[in-house]
Amino acid sequence: MTQVAVLLFNDFETLDVFGPVELFGRLKQHYHILFYSLEGGLVKNYHGVAVNTSKLEELKNGAGIFLIPGGYGTRVEVNNATLLDLIKSVSMQSEFVHTVCTGSALLAKTGLLNGIKATSNKRAFDWVITQGPNVNWVRKARWTKDEKYYTSAGVSAGMDMTLGFLCDRHGIEFARKTAFEIEYNWIEDMEEDDFYEQ
């Protein structure tokens, strides 16, 4: 049983979180989901979604998968040194770290992505790369994987990345079956990126 620890902060992006949660959540025999935030308690976003969380410091031993979403909140949190320190230590202790959308900006800011391939939201890309000048940023990608780090493009791409992770771990038929069950047209090729504009 792999624990999926989802980081939340105010103004996280709804689908960045609940796309992967739909996929991991339905695989009850393999994955167990828990939500965390810096302070614990109810975390809200501007879509009107509020989720109850545990304190991130309880995760000091890391998780099987540490999932960092994006959203407008990242613009604030890249300046939150306390949160960044905890993101860094939890990420170092975790078996895998997944970021969706501008979640890669938070991870980049910790320094852990230096020399690592990563991607992010297309429309926020120029801002994201300023958070980690030494990251090997890949502008045209649905998602990237490098060592234990998976990073996806914007919002919906988190689902393709999660299915890509399920493929790497459980095989292509398992991933295709999971996508089929939610009637999702999985983009299987991590380099296929319809949203890249030169």
| Residue ranges binding a copy of itself (CB under 8 A) | 13-15, 17-19, 21-22, 24-26, 28, 32-35, 42, 45-52, 121-123, 153-157, 180-185, 187, 194-195
125 vs 149, beta carbon nearer a copy of itself: 125
As given in the structure block, the two tokens for residue 55 are 């304190």
Contact criterion met (CB below 8 Å) for 14 and 43: no
CA 118 to chain CA centroid, nearest Å? 11
20 vs 112, beta carbon nearer a copy of itself: 20
End-to-end CA distance of the chain: 42
CA–CA gap between residue 47 and residue 147 (Å, rounded): 34
Least separation in angstroms between CB 124 and a copy of itself: 11
Amino acid at 145: K
Least separation in angstroms between CB 191 and a copy of itself: 15
Least separation in angstroms between CB 47 and a copy of itself: 3
123 vs 169, beta carbon nearer a copy of itself: 123
Least separation in angstroms between CB 85 and a copy of itself: 26
Least separation in angstroms between CB 7 and a copy of itself: 14
50 vs 172, beta carbon nearer a copy of itself: 50
Contact criterion met (CB below 8 Å) for 11 and 46: yes
Amino acid at 120: S
Q: Give one DSSP letter per residue of 17-36, joined into a string.
A: HHHHHHHHHH-TTTEEEEEE
23 vs 68, beta carbon nearer a copy of itself: 23
As given in the structure block, the two tokens for residue 41 are 């308690």
As given in the structure block, the two tokens for residue 108 are 């980049």
